[in-house]
Amino acid sequence: MREGVLHRLFPLFGYPLVALFLLLAWWNPDLLPADEPLDLLVVMDESESVGQQFSYQSWQGLRPLLADLPANSRFSLIRFADRPQTEITWKPISDNELQQQLQQPAPPRTLSLDSNTSAIGTALEWATNQLVPSHRSAILLFSDGRENSGTPPPALPDAEGNIALFWSSPPVRYAANHPVIESINLPEKVKPAMTFPVSIAITSPTAGESLLIVKLDGHQLTEKPLRFTAQSSTVHHLQLSATTTGPHLLELTILDPNGDLLDSRERYFEVVREHQLLYISHQPPSLPVQQLQQSGWGITRLSPLQLNSQPDSFKDTSLVLIDDIPADELAPETVTALTGAVEQQGVGLIVLGGPKAFGSGGYRHSALERLLPVEAESARPEAAAAFLFLVDKSGSMDSATLPQSRLATAFRAVAESAGSLRAGDHIGLIAFDREVQPLLPLQAYADPLSTLSRRWEVSPSGGTRLTPALTTAIGQLAAATPKKRFLILVTDGFVEGESIEPLIGKMQAAGIMLIALAVGEDADLSVLQQLATATGGQVLQVAKTAELPRFMRRELEQQRQSWQPAAVKTQSVAPMPFSIPQETAWLPVNGYQVTRTKPDSTAYLATPNGDPLLAVRQTAAGRVAALPGGWLRAVNNIHFTQSLLAWLDRQGDNPHLRLDYRSMAGELQIKIDALDSKGRWSDARVAELILETPAGIRQQHHLTPSAPGRFEATIKTPLSGLYQAWVRVGNERTHRLLQQSRNSESIETPVIPWLQAGVDQGSIRNGSKTAFTTLLKSTGRRSPSRKIWLLLALFLFFSIVLHERRAGIFAALPQKNGGDQNEST
């Protein structure tokens, strides 16, 4: 009875069940979890801004992540900084070697990268090219999203595509937990044996102690214990020097108390070849020439006369030293060439004082003085003086054999001597022959130079009667307000027989000093000598008429007492702009020229009463130093002298050819600017660049102009370190060290915009493990559940049929006994 019920119920429930299976097959729901293999490509940023901690953590987090991947998934690893480097190429996640690598604390690193550069765009483009198009793939980017290589944004996968891009960034910006070298200030070029400053900024997030080791060319120079407080930044100063010309390597290393490396940096500088000092003097050099030569100076000594005859002497000179030379001994052409060399070529200039220079050398208002940092007169107010010029205009003063008459030269001398006059001085001018001709009343003039430089309507004629002229002059001087009274007499000495004794008393009574300039070798000096001796003055015989202005001016300056012969103390009034040995002693000088510092110049050494002893001025391209006391001779301090000369010296660069460069990721951007010999942009069609790599291999490049005088190139430089560049454009050449450094990544670089935009648009997903697991579950291939339902339906349907036909089948089977029959009945 019970079997009969089942027999009836089976088709009753079987058919709906088959129908249900068919409906499920039609619907085709997913039954099984994702099981499609995944190609996982990890792109790991190893630039400095990310830090190794994040790299290690990311790598160590990969192992559990890979354990969750479906079977037959594959794994690949790309490290990048300045460039991408594939470290693991598509290994099955079950691969034994891969599993061993995943157990290591750090990812495999077969090639070093420039960790100070980050090229995320390049790395992602590289990564997407590694993917197999038909495979389900995911890229997992471990990066802080900051790059400094300027690479264009790569094409990103679609949010709904077959490739998922995840970005995992450090939770906070990486910061080292130990002291690091933040920056180094170091000159690019130095002179042999020159002491130059180096400053190093070291930051430390934590308090503690460490050791700074400084090596130069592999040899340890010094080690400096460092003590930090938390979040501190300290700047350390060093004084270095090197003698061998060429590049030098400075290595800075910070060690912890256990001697373990915390940070290190390398910087290069160049000691440039010896420089040429042009020494202008009458005497052998008073500086320690031998020591200077030993420290790399090439010294050429010329007299002013030789210099005047060699106008191109400044061409190969980097520094000119003028040692106690009067201004008028330098020809105007020489001074013009010197000015051009200083202002345009950057040639340095030192002027040493002495009894014949500055005020005594007629520097006041001269072309040479315009270059100097000092003016050849005192800064303190001086008592006014009266100067009366008495010029002989007799017929003998007119010499037809000269290009300019003695009289004209005399007036020129008078005009030039105005440069020695001070504000408030009284000046007057009288011409005389047999008659007295007052030309300029004795009084103070606002502009003595233009007053005395006017053209005088006087022509030489007649004889010479000195007494009336002297009488008139003495009368004017005696009435003048200033107590210092000078009578400057210019004559050729052909004085007619006159009695001058009465005048001597008057001159002495009025305090008048006579300065007589006797022009010509045949001048009769007896009368003049008598007058001069009586008044404390002197007679100067000017053999050559052309020298008259110089004689007159120098004599006036001497009367001004600009040379102070007494020993005087030296005081430092401002810190030197260059490094000097700390033990430098400021020794006194034995006499100096009284000068005053120009407003645009700086005095570093001075006398107790403020007269400058070392003043410096930047004049256009060059630096000029004035030492009115010749202080370098006094101190005999070779270190100070070397430092001063090196500081003033032209920097060794070719002013017509300049090479600039920018260190980028794996490349150097070179920019060359070239002038021709006329100072115009060079019209050369090619710049020849020879680049020596850190491996010592020389590459030759030919650059074409991108603009007038401008040549540009971007050169692949995969190796970090020192590159040397030699450039030739036309006839101009220059040389420069280029450092493909590890300093190109800026700490303040923001997240690259295209990466942030990708996150906002959804094409880049959050790189957390949860998000990754969600992807694995959501994007798996659909399970083939339809076939299951269909098979179930088919099986059940067949079972129904079988069940339906069961009795007939059993009946058809051969009967073994009658039990069945009995049963059926």
Work out whether 791 is an interface residue with another protein (CB under 8 A). yes
Using the rule CB under 8 A, give the single segment among 471-479, 534-542, 705-713, 772-780 that binds another protein.
Answer: 705-713
Work out whether 339 is an interface residue with another protein (CB under 8 A). no
Sign of the dihedral defined by the CA atoms of residues 742, 743, 747, 748, in that order: negative
The first and second tokens of residue 569, run together, are: 């103390």
Torsions phi, psi of 224, nearest 5?
A: -130, 120
User: Of the candidates 6, 111, 155, 400, which one interacts with another protein according to CB under 8 A?
Assistant: 155
In the complex, what is the shortest distance from the CB of residue 11 to another protein, in angstroms, rounded to a whole number?
Answer: 6
332 neighbors 554 (Cβ within 8 angstroms): no
Applying CB under 8 A, what is the total number of residues that bind another protein?
A: 91
DSSP 3-state assignment of 440?
A: strand
Using the rule CB under 8 A, give the single segment among 244-252, 514-522, 585-593, 785-793 that binds another protein.
Answer: 785-793
x-marked contacts with another protein along 197-236 as a string, rule CB under 8 A: x-x-x-------------------------------xxx-
Work out whether 760 is an interface residue with another protein (CB under 8 A). no
Work out whether 708 is an interface residue with another protein (CB under 8 A). yes
In the complex, what is the shortest distance from the CB of residue 620 to another protein, in angstroms, rounded to a whole number?
Answer: 9
Residues 660-679 binding another protein (CB under 8 A) are 662, 675, 678-679
With CA atoms as reference, report the closest residue to 538 among 516, 521, 519, 523.
Answer: 516
Work out whether 746 is an interface residue with another protein (CB under 8 A). yes
DSSP 3-state assignment of 182?
A: strand
User: Of the candidates 750, 809, 817, 819, which one interacts with another protein according to CB under 8 A?
Assistant: 809
In the complex, what is the shortest distance from the CB of residue 131 to another protein, in angstroms, rounded to a whole number?
Answer: 4
The beta strand positions in 594-697, using DSSP E, are 596-597, 602-606, 612-619, 622-627, 657-664, 667-674, 687-692
Question: Rounded to an integer, what distance in angstroms lies between the CA atom of residue 745 and that of residue 48?
Answer: 8
Work out whether 9 is an interface residue with another protein (CB under 8 A). no
Strand order in 137-142's β-sheet?
84-92, 74-80, 39-45, 137-142, 163-168, 764-766
DSSP 3-state assignment of 321?
A: strand
Work out whether 13 is an interface residue with another protein (CB under 8 A). no
With CA atoms as reference, report the closest residue to 58 among 102, 19, 28, 18.
Answer: 102
Work out whether 188 is an interface residue with another protein (CB under 8 A). yes
Work out whether 159 is an interface residue with another protein (CB under 8 A). no
Work out whether 340 is an interface residue with another protein (CB under 8 A). no
Question: Rounded to an integer, what distance in angstroms lies between the CA atom of residue 801 and that of residue 799?
Answer: 5
Sign of the dihedral defined by the CA atoms of residues 211, 201, 249, 697, in that order: positive
Rg (CA), the chain: 48
Work out whether 602 is an interface residue with another protein (CB under 8 A). yes
Work out whether 163 is an interface residue with another protein (CB under 8 A). yes
- For another protein, the closer CB: 197 or 505: 197
With CA atoms as reference, report the closest residue to 507 among 540, 477, 464.
Answer: 477
- For another protein, the closer CB: 333 or 820: 820
Residues 709-738 binding another protein (CB under 8 A) are 709-710
User: Of the candidates 152, 381, 608, 750, which one interacts with another protein according to CB under 8 A?
Assistant: 152
Torsions phi, psi of 315, nearest 5?
A: -60, -50
Using the rule CB under 8 A, give the single segment among 94-102, 260-268, 521-529, 793-801 that binds another protein.
Answer: 793-801
User: Of the candidates 19, 106, 221, 305, which one interacts with another protein according to CB under 8 A?
Assistant: 19
Sign of the dihedral defined by the CA atoms of residues 694, 696, 699, 703, in that order: positive
Work out whether 617 is an interface residue with another protein (CB under 8 A). yes
x-marked contacts with another protein along 20-59 as a string, rule CB under 8 A: --xx-xx---------------------------------
- Whole-Å CA distances, 798 to 76, 805, 807: 50, 10, 15
Using the rule CB under 8 A, give the single segment among 219-227, 270-278, 485-493, 797-805 that binds another protein.
Answer: 797-805
The first and second tokens of residue 24, run together, are: 């499920």
User: Of the candidates 173, 224, 237, 733, which one interacts with another protein according to CB under 8 A?
Assistant: 237
With CA atoms as reference, report the closest residue to 556 among 363, 705, 738.
Answer: 363
User: Of the candidates 121, 304, 482, 705, which one interacts with another protein according to CB under 8 A?
Assistant: 705
